[in-house]
Structures are given as C-alpha cells and as structure tokens.
Amino acid sequence: MPYLVAFLGLQAAVLAKAPADATASAKAPRPDLVFVQAPVVQPGALSARFPQGSRIVRLAAGSTSPVNLTAQFFAAADPQVSFEGMQVLFAAKRGAADLWQIWEMQADGSNPRQITRCPNDCLRPAYLPRDEIVFTVESDGPTGRASQLYVSKRDGSGAHAITFGPGEFQVETVLQNGLILASARSPLLPRHGQENGRDLYTLRPDGSGLGAFRCDHQPGVIREEATELRDGSVVLVKSHNPVGKVVGELTVIRRGALHNSPLGLPAAFAASPRELSPGRLIVARPAASAPGAGRLALYAFDSARRGFDSPVYEDPKLSSLAAAPVAAHASPKWYWSTLNPALQVGYFICLDAYRAEGAPRGLLATDLSKVRVLRLDPKTSQEASLGEAPIYKDGSFYIAIPPDVPVRFELLDDSGRVVRAQQSWIWSRSGEEHGCVGCHEDRALAPENRWPMALHRFDTPARLGVEAGPEAAH
C-alpha cells in the first residue's frame, strides 16, 4: 500500500505540473528569428518563388525592426540555422542573371561565403552532421523543370547527387534519426489523366534506403514544407488544390502514426511551419490587417489550443515567411555509409510480392511467376526492360541491377500478364541491398520471420543488365 500511495502521489504531481510547464513555455521569451521578406511569393518551381528584393532578415527578441542580412544580394531565401546556432545556411542570387547558389554567413549577417558553384540552381539547403550539407539542385529536364538532392562538404567540395528518379525531389528537413526527409511528385510515375501530388519520402545521406514516409497517398494532394518537432512528430502543409496557392492546411503526423491529421480546429491554413518552443510553432499566414492582399505575416500557433496567437511580426509592404529561431539545437544521428562504388551493382530483395496494398486481406490472389524490371532513361523519359527474374513460391525474388538507375517492377503471372505494376521509380546504389516486404504492403505490419526461398540458391541474385560478380564480397 505505501508503494501505491507513493505512485499515485507522483502521478498527481506530474499531472499537476504539466499545465504549468505548458504555461511557462507559452510565456517564455521569444528567441531571435531569421526569416525571409519578399515583395511577392510565387507558388511553383523553387527557383521562381522569390523575385528581386527578397531578403533574409533577423528580428531580435523584443524588437519590432528587423535587420537586413543580405543587402548585397539580388534575392535570398531558405534560411537554416546551424546546430550551434552561430551560422545561417541560405540560397541566394548575386545578380538578376545569376543562378541560385548555397551560401553561409554568421547569424549576424557577417562573413558571407559561397558554398556551391553548380551549373544549375541550388536551393532549399539543410545541415547534416559531420560538416556536410544537403540541398536541392533544379535544372531543365525533358518535360520541364526537374530537381534532385545533392550532398557536399560544408565547404562545397565533393558535391554529388543522391537521388536519381524523375520525381522532382526537394529537401524538406533532416530528421533526428539521421534520415533526410524529402518531398517528391506522387506518384513518381505520371499517370495519364491523373493530377500529380507531392508526398514525403525518407532516404539516408548516401542516397540509399529510399522509402515512403508514413502518409496516406491521395491523388492530387500536395504535402510539403515539413518540419520535425522535438517529440518526433512531423508538421507539414497539405494542399488539396495547390494551383496558385502559397499556404495550405497545417497537418501533423504523430510519432508512430501512419497517417496525417489536422493540427488546427477548425482547419488552420499557413505556410513554412517551424517549432518555436515546445507546443508552439511559428508560421506564415495571410496578414489579418490585409486578408485579401496576399501578404503573409508571422504568427505563433498554439498546439494545445489548436489555434493562432497574435502576430509575431507583420510588415506593411512585404510578406514574411520561413522563420527559424536563432538558437542551438540537437544534431541528428550520423549514418555510416556501407556503399561500395567499386562493385557497380545494386541489389533488390523482396520477401513476399503477394503482399499488396488494396488487395483482399492484403494478399494477391493470382499466382505470380516472374518480375519484370523496367528502367528509365532520365534524359529521354523512355522506358526499357532490363529483363525478368523468377518469383518463388513464397513470393520472394532477388535481383542485381545497374546502380543509380531509376527502375520499377511489374509482377507477371504464368501467361506473362501484368498482375500489379509499380507506380513509382526507385533505385539501388552501388553495393546497396535494398529490401522490401511486398508490393506496397501494409507499413504497420512486420514481415514473417523466415528465410526467403530466393536466397536458397547460394545467395545468388538474378542478374538484369549487369555482369556476373563476386556476391560474397557484398
């Protein structure tokens, strides 16, 4: 009985303390902020969002007069504060004819230095551990503007692509578990007559392990501007009809949840959410003083009340958005790469191709015979078959393919008819063993603990488009 009394007393103390903590957080002084000010904000391609005069400013705590940190640039955007809270990573154009490049400056605007010198536009950067950065490179593609993710050292050296599909990948944030959270066109394979949306995907900093984040895929829905909170939840902006819109509905994916849910009650529409303090966000939304003018102002959003507080900052002429607190924050975990560029081959192993989303009881009823692997030429957007490999009775298959090549799978029956076709492009990096449970299987289920039949043949994959090599070395 004494133990029960002590436990109940402790529980009561915790419950009594929670509101006080929440109140203290709400009343905590606001930190300094860096954010973007722009004459107008254009939806669409990253490189076209901010025109001449767009700038990064710093607003000191308690001040109402922001200081321009990028007066020497034609335009600047995408501020990201370093883990130590001492530097700011950003994208900028020196002149009207120049490309967007990644820069870094001290948090007070001093000592700006150019990091990237790419032949294409570089935007939307983020810090990685161990003095690396990830950023978005936008260029002209066969069907319009295309974008990929690149990683480089913090001094700009060693820049290399880590995405290879046609999905218009863009950096969203770096999660505390070390994975990069990116948005990309969804489905990654365009369907005739279906409006494309954007969904969230994760991958390691070396480009391996590409997978869908925990989201329900809906045609035509845009999910972007994602940020991770300290409790592991991810807040993002969701738009059902994004044409011509800069703001969308604030939604949240709770830690461990598979789907997103509205953050506001009623629905809260905003842009560029970022955590201000526990339980509070700073967001951009249409200024209350001029709701029809399209001008954005900065507001705090209270998660407990599920509503907006009074404005944090509003400029009478310029939109204000993409705010970030100037404060130290935790560095994500680091992934040690296990890739082997010398192998020049990637691997895919599927445990059970019969497991499929939307099928009765989650299983395909048709007997499967082979998997056909299609590759994409990014320069021409033309598909070609790499070949076919056997699917074993337990639904498993194991293949070796060229690395860094966009591929998708078609499941075939005994007559060669396509039973299920993958609607996205993925890849395997050199030396990567990319595994999946099934064909868009239920992500809430763990695979059966068994040794797949595809690995019984001396661990030898079916080779499609690659020469024989020493499997024992990978």
Q: Is residue 308 part of a domain?
A: yes
Token representation of residue 454? 């595809």
Residues 6+ apart with CB under 8 A from 273: 225, 227, 235, 236, 237, 250, 281, 282, 283, 301
Q: Is residue 47 part of a domain?
A: yes
Q: Is residue 334 part of a domain?
A: no
Same domain, 405 and 304: no
**Cα angle, residue 422 at apex, residues 202 and 414 outer, rounded to 5°:** 145
Where a domain ends, among 325, 350, 375?
325
H or E segment to which residue 26 belongs: helix 2-27
Same domain, 107 and 233: yes
Same domain, 234 and 347: no
Residue count of the chain, please give it. 474
- Residue 421: which of 385, 447, 454, 464 has the closest Cα? 385
Burial class for 11, CB neighbours closer than 10 Å (0-12, 13-18, 19+): exposed
Q: Is residue 1 part of a domain?
A: no
Burial class for 393, CB neighbours closer than 10 Å (0-12, 13-18, 19+): exposed
Same domain, 368 and 271: no
Place of tokens 């954007």: 198
Into how many domains does the chain fold?
A: 2
pLDDT at 5: 37
Q: Is residue 124 part of a domain?
A: yes
Q: Is residue 471 part of a domain?
A: no
Same domain, 123 and 216: yes
Q: Is residue 13 part of a domain?
A: no
The one-letter code for the residue type at 398 is Y
Where a domain ends, among 325, 355, 370?
325
Q: Is residue 261 part of a domain?
A: yes
Q: What is the domain-level CATH number for residue 424?
A: 2.60.40.2190
SS3 of 227-281: the string is EECCCCCEEEEEECCCCCCCCEEEEEECCCCCCCEECCCCCCEEEEEEEEECCEE
Whole-angstrom Cα distance, residue 83 to residue 330? 6
Token representation of residue 267? 């629905």
Pairing, β 261-262 against β 234-239: unpaired
pLDDT at 455: 72
Range of the domain at 385: 341-466
pLDDT at 70: 99
pLDDT at 291: 74
Burial class for 265, CB neighbours closer than 10 Å (0-12, 13-18, 19+): exposed
Token representation of residue 212? 């869908």
Pairing, β 397-401 against β 462-463: parallel
Same domain, 303 and 428: no
pLDDT at 288: 86
Low-confidence ranges of the chain (pLDDT < 50): 1-26, 192-193, 441, 472-474
Same domain, 163 and 226: yes
Which DSSP letter does residue 29 get? P
Q: What is the domain-level CATH number for residue 72?
A: 2.120.10.30
The one-letter code for the residue type at 226 is A
